[in-house]
Amino acid sequence: MKARHLTIIAKKEFRGLFNERTILLAVLLQLFIALFSSFLMVGLTSMYDPSSLSKYSRYKYNIAYAGNDSAVLDYLKSSPDFRVYPMDLSTGVAALKERKLSAVIYVPDTSPSADEPVKITLYSLTNDLQSAIVDVKLKDIFLKYEIDLRQVREHRLSEQPIPIRIPKTTGGGDFYEFVYGLLIPLLVFMPAIIASALVIDLITEEYQHETLETLISTPITFSEMVWGKVLACELLVPIQAGAWLLLLMVNGIAIENAGLILIQVVVTSFILILLGTLTALHYRERTAAQFIFSTALVVVILFTLALPSNPLNLLTRLAVGTAGPEQWLMLAATGGIIVILGFLTQKYAERVGKSHHAG
């Protein structure tokens, strides 16, 4: 296998990538996410945790209060988040259905010192983003009232509870989860998935366009043609992943061990690319190969995520600087898998190449 021949094939494929609109659109989408990651953080975080938007909301919500006067009403009136309108329960619920109100609170006439519990009823809109924000803000109000009730009824305790002092959180949990648990793994591993799908297209198109015979009639062997395409796809991964990491850092996101992250991504992507290569060599038809590979990829990803020290988890720990010696074990394991897959790819390519020459 000659390095010059591999370089020729890789350059040919790089020139052809500019005609692949699907690949270019995927790259541009990742570029957009990386460029505006700080802005998108707010919107995308709300998709899996709508209550996180409560910290960004400065809007005053209209709340109806029905029932007996209590400390809840005082807390609502003193809150900067609500406008409180005392009204009948039926009137408030009707206004809520017309979306003139954000919520309706009903407080019964149960005395704080009564034997039975105080059952407060909250009416809100279902499957509504605004309702999620209002619920979080009202939770703080109800917790304050709960503390008042505990103080009034503390004489009923027959045993003294053990106080638990929980340190206050500093916030930023949603940002941390989104950036290090989702955004960084998504951006740096997406080029690997794109490259593995791309190598299938590059190999199968030689069969579909009937250019394979012309290509192997040159001094370039079939195996060199295959490895040249693999090389082209593999080189795309560190270029894209490195650009995404750089753009994230420009956005003010601190990323530790960027070099080790790139190494881990390159090694892992090599496995996916070789799997895509074997799939393309076996099926030799784009639709069938992409379908089988995509299905198998989902199964492989689900199995990998079930492992405690999976690549995504390791990448997150590398980004925050908490990875231990297991990162080198993972790197060695993936390197061993690459050797096995590379051997299988070479043997399969040689067998396919011989069959073409014989034909």
* Two tokens, residue 37: 């990651």
User: Residue 296 falls within a domain, yes or no?
Assistant: yes
pLDDT-wise least confident of 22-31, 245-254, 279-288, 336-345: 22-31
* pLDDT at residue 73 greater than cutoff 80: yes
* Whether 190 and 280 share a structural domain: yes
Last residue of a domain, one of 129, 156, 183: 156
What's the pLDDT at 301?
81
pLDDT-wise least confident of 67-81, 123-137, 260-274: 123-137
* pLDDT at residue 307 greater than cutoff 70: yes
What's the pLDDT at 236?
85
* Two tokens, residue 295: 């299905």
Q: Give me the number of domains the chain comprises.
A: 2
Cα–Cα nearest to 315, from 299, 300, 334: 334
Give 352's pLDDT tier (boundaries 50, 70, 90).
confident
Beta 103-107 vs 121-124: how paired, if at all?
Answer: antiparallel
User: Residue 342 falls within a domain, yes or no?
Assistant: yes
pLDDT digits (tens, 9 = 90+) for 139-157: 889 999 999 998 888 888 7
* Whether 215 and 293 share a structural domain: yes
User: Residue 41 falls within a domain, yes or no?
Assistant: no
pLDDT digits (tens, 9 = 90+) for 48-62: 555 555 555 567 889
* Whether 27 and 58 share a structural domain: no
**Bigger pLDDT: 224 vs 217:** 224
pLDDT-wise least confident of 48-57, 91-100, 292-301, 340-349: 48-57
Report DSSP letters for 24-86, one per residue: HHHHHHHHHHHHTHHHHHHHHHHHH-GGGGGGT--PPEEEEEEES--HHHHHHHH-TTEEEEE
CATH code at 110?
3.40.1710.10
* pLDDT at residue 358 greater than cutoff 80: no
Mean pLDDT estimate for the chain = 80
* Whether 207 and 311 share a structural domain: yes
Q: How far apart are CA 176 and CA 179, in angstroms?
A: 5
pLDDT-wise least confident of 78-87, 187-196, 229-238, 321-330: 321-330
What's the pLDDT at 101?
92
Element holding 259 (H helix, E strand): helix 258-283
* Whether 28 and 114 share a structural domain: no
* Whether 334 and 206 share a structural domain: yes
* Whether 24 and 63 share a structural domain: no
**Bigger pLDDT: 31 vs 196:** 196
* pLDDT at residue 214 greater than cutoff 80: no
What's the pLDDT at 210?
72
* Whether 135 and 65 share a structural domain: yes
What's the pLDDT at 119?
92
Q: Which residue has the tokens 């010059």?
A: 4
pLDDT digits (tens, 9 = 90+) for 315-327: 888 888 887 777 7
* Two tokens, residue 117: 């519990």
Give 120's pLDDT tier (boundaries 50, 70, 90).
very high
Q: How far apart are CA 271 and CA 279, in angstroms?
A: 12
* Whether 63 and 135 share a structural domain: yes
What's the pLDDT at 205?
82
Give 46's pLDDT tier (boundaries 50, 70, 90).
low
> Which pTM does this prediction carry?
0.63
Last residue of a domain, one of 93, 122, 156: 156
pLDDT-wise least confident of 8-17, 56-65, 109-118, 238-247: 8-17
Q: How far apart are CA 65 and CA 221, in angstroms?
A: 80
Q: Which residue has the tokens 């270029």?
A: 239
* Whether 67 and 29 share a structural domain: no
**Bigger pLDDT: 306 vs 80:** 80
Q: How far apart are CA 281 and CA 349, in angstroms?
A: 7
Question: Could you tell me what percent of the chain has a pLDDT over 90?
Answer: 18
Domain carrying residue 320: 3-35+172-358
* Whether 185 and 252 share a structural domain: yes
What's the pLDDT at 339?
92
* Whether 123 and 241 share a structural domain: no
Highest mean pLDDT of the ranges 6-20, 192-206, 315-329 = 192-206
Q: 277 near 201, Cβ under 8 Å? A: no
How much is the average pLDDT of 81-98? Answer: 92
What's the pLDDT at 168?
62
How much is the average pLDDT of 154-175? Answer: 68
The contacts of residue 80 (CB under 8 Å, 6+ apart) are: 60
